C-alpha cells in the first residue's frame, strides 16, 4: 500500500506547481528547493544571506542538473521589506516559509533584531501571500513553543509558559496564521520542528546547531562542552522527514489541517550524552584513525527546555506523515555527508 508521501510524489511527476521557498540558501530551505526541483517543480527562492550561503545554491544546481535548475528563480531580498515579499509571491501556488533568525540564545541576546525577521517578516510574507491570492501557506514553527510544559510526549494542543523571546515569536506566528485562516481563508499550516539535522546544516558561527558543531569540533580534535549534565533530551529529526512534512502540508486537501500546527519529529527521545556517543561512533565508522574524546560539562543554557519528545499522531492522522529515518539512520547519513562535503 502506498504511503501518502509516495502518492504525493506520483502527483508531482504530472503536476507542476510554483513553490516559494523563503530562506532558500539555508539548511532546510536549500534541501526543500533541491527536492522540489528534482521532482519536476518550479521554485522561487528568497534569501538575504544573513544565515544562508551561496554555496548551498551552488550545490542545488549540481545536484539537480542544468535542465531542472532552469525552473529555479532566485530573489536576493529580505522578508522585513513588504515590497520584497510582494515581488516573491507573484505567480506562486504554495509558500514554504523557512526564513527566520533561529536560535534561542540569539533571541535572548538581541530580541529586537530577531523579532524584526521572525514576527514582522512573517506578517509581511503572510499578508503578501494573502494579497496575491495564494491559498496555501506552510511555515516553520518550533518545539520551543512548549516552554516549561513537563508533559511528555508533547501534544500540540497543550503548551506551557514560554521560556525565550524566540518561543514568543514562533507562537506569535501560529496565532497570526490561525487568525488569517479564519479571517481571510488562507490555508495556513504550521510545522513545529524538533531539532532538525542533516546535510548542509551549518557547523560554524556562534549559534550553530549542536550536531554539526560537535562533528566539526571532533574532526578538529577540539574539546566539546555539553551544557548541563548531559541528560537533557531532544527528539532529533533528520532533514528528509522535514521535507516530507513540508510537501504533505503543501499539497494536503484535508481542511481539518488548515489553521493548525503540527509536530515534526520522529517521536524519539535522545539525551545529549547519548547523542555525543552516537556521533563518536559514527565518526569512527567514517574517518580513518578517528579517536573519540570525553566531553566537558558546563552550565545549563538559559531558556532551554529540559526534555523534548513529540507525539506525532496528529501529523500522521491529518497529513499522512510517516517518518523514514530514525536518529540512528539519519545520523549515519548526516555524518557521511559532513565527512565528504565539509572542510573543517
Tens digits of per-residue pLDDT, 278-297?
999 999 999 988 888 899 99
pLDDT tens string for the chain (344 positions)?
889 999 999 999 999 999 999 999 999 999 999 999 999 999 999 999 999 999 999 999 999 999 999 999 999 999 999 999 999 999 999 999 999 998 889 999 999 999 999 999 999 999 999 999 999 999 999 999 999 999 999 999 999 999 999 999 999 999 999 999 999 999 999 999 999 999 999 888 777 789 999 999 998 889 999 999 999 999 999 999 999 999 999 999 999 999 999 999 999 899 999 999 999 999 999 998 888 889 999 999 887 778 889 999 999 999 999 999 999 999 999 999 998 886 54
**Distance between CA 37 and CA 70 in Å, rounded?**
9
Ranges of H-type helices in 39-164 = 54-69, 82-88, 104-109, 111-115, 122-131
How many structural domains are present in the chain? 1
Asked, as a colleague might, if the bond just before 153 is cis with ω within 30 of 0, I would say yes
**Distance between CA 324 and CA 133 in Å, rounded?**
34
Contact partners, residue 252, CB within 8 Å, separation at least 6: 189, 318, 319, 320
Nearest to 162 by CA among 174, 177, 146: 146
Return the pLDDT at 333. Answer: 96
Residue 22: inside a domain, yes or no? yes
Residue 301: inside a domain, yes or no? no
Give just the sign of the alpha carbon dihedral 318, 321, 322, 327: negative
What digits encode the pLDDT tens for the residues 164-212? Answer: 999 999 999 999 999 999 999 999 999 999 999 999 998 887 777 899 9
Contact 185, 137 (CB under 8 A): no
Domain that includes residue 165, residue range: 4-196+238-267+310-325
User: Is residue 193 flagged as an active site residue?
Assistant: no
Nearest to 43 by CA among 293, 203, 250, 340: 250
Residue 24: inside a domain, yes or no? yes
What residue has cell string 516553520?
Answer: 140
Domain harbouring 183, CATH code: 3.40.50.720
The grid cell for 302 is 538559559
Residue 331: inside a domain, yes or no? no
Residue 226: inside a domain, yes or no? no
For residue 125, how far is the Cα from the chain centroid? Answer: 18
Residue 177: inside a domain, yes or no? yes
Strands 233-234 and 270-271: antiparallel
**Catalytic residue selected from 53, 69, 146, 166:** 166
Buried b (16+ CB within 10 A) or exposed e, 167-188: bbbbbbbbebbbebbeeeebbb
Which residues on adjacent β-strands are paired with residue 136? 94, 187
Residue 262: inside a domain, yes or no? yes
Angle CA(39)–CA(42)–CA(48) in degrees, nearest 5?
Answer: 115
**Distance between CA 186 and CA 183 in Å, rounded?**
8
Angle CA(247)–CA(330)–CA(163) in degrees, nearest 5?
Answer: 75
3-state helix, strand, coil in the chain (%, to 5): 45, 15, 35
111: left (phi > 0), else alpha (psi -120 to 50), else beta? Answer: alpha
In this prediction the pTM is 0.96
Outline where DSSP puts E strands in the chain.
18-22, 42-47, 72-76, 94-97, 136-142, 187-193, 196-197, 225-227, 233-234, 237-238, 260-264, 270-271, 296-298
HSE of 119, CA atoms in CB hemisphere, 13 A: 16
Return the pLDDT at 343. Answer: 59
CA-to-CA dists, residue 262 to 104, 138, 162, 289, 317, angstroms: 20, 11, 18, 42, 11
Residue 95: inside a domain, yes or no? yes
Amino acid at each position: 500500500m502506498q504511503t501518502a508521501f509516495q502518492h504525493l510524489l506520483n502527483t508531482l511527476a504530472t503536476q507542476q506547481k510554483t513553490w516559494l521557498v523563503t530562506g532558500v540558501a539555508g539548511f532546510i530551505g536549500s534541501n526543500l528547493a533541491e527536492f522540489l526541483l528534482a521532482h519536476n517543480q518550479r521554485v522561487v527562492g528568497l534569501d538575504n544571506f544573513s544565515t544562508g550561503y551561496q554555496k548551498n545554491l551552488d550545490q542545488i544546481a549540481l545536484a539537480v542538473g542544468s535542465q531542472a535548475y532552469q525552473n529555479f528563480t532566485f530573489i536576493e531580498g529580505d522578508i522585513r521589506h513588504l515590497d520584497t515579499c510582494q515581488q516573491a509571491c507573484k505567480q506562486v501556488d504554495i509558500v514554504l516559509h523557512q526564513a527566520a533568525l533561529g536560535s534561542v540564545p540569539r533571541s535572548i541576546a538581541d530580541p529586537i533584531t530577531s523579532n524584526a525577521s521572525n514576527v514582522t517578516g512573517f506578517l509581511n510574507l503572510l499578508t503578501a501571500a494573502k494579497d496575491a491570492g495564494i491559498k496555501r501557506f506552510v511555515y516553520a514553527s518550533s518545539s520551543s513553543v512548549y516552554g516549561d510544559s513537563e508533559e511528555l510526549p508533547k501534544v500540540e494542543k497543550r503548551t506551557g509558559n514560554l521560556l525565550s523571546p524566540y518561543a514568543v515569536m514562533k507562537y506569535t506566528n501560529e496565532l497570526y496564521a490561525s487568525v488569517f485562516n479564519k479571517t481571510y481563508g488562507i490555508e495556513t499550516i504550521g510545522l513545529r520542528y524538533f531539532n532538525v539535522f542533516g546535510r548542509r546544516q551549518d557547523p560554524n558561527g556562534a549559534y550553530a546547531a549542536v550536531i554539526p558543531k560537535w562533528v566539526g569540533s571532533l574532526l578538529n580534535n577540539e574539546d566539546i562542552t555539553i551544557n548541563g549534565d548531559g541528560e537533557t533530551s531532544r527528539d532529533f529529526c533528520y532533514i528528509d522527514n522535514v521535507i516530507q512534512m513540508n510537501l504533505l502540508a503543501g499539497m494536503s486537501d484535508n481542511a481539518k489541517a488548515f489553521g493548525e500546527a503540527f509536530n515534526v519529529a520522529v517521536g524519539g527521545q535522545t539525551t545529549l550524552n547519548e547523542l555525543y556517543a552516537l556521533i563518536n561512533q559514527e565518526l569512527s565508522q567514517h574517518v580513518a584513525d578517528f579517536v573519540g574524546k570525553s566531553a566537558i560539562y558546563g552550565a545549563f543554557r538559559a531558556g532551554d527546555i529540559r526534555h523534548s519528545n513529540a507525539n506525532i499522531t496528529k501529523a500522521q492522522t491529518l497529513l499522512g506523515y510517516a517518518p523514514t529515518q530514525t536518529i540512528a539512520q539519519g545520523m549515519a547519513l548526516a555524518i557521511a555527508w559532513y565527512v565528504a562535503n565539509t572542510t573543517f
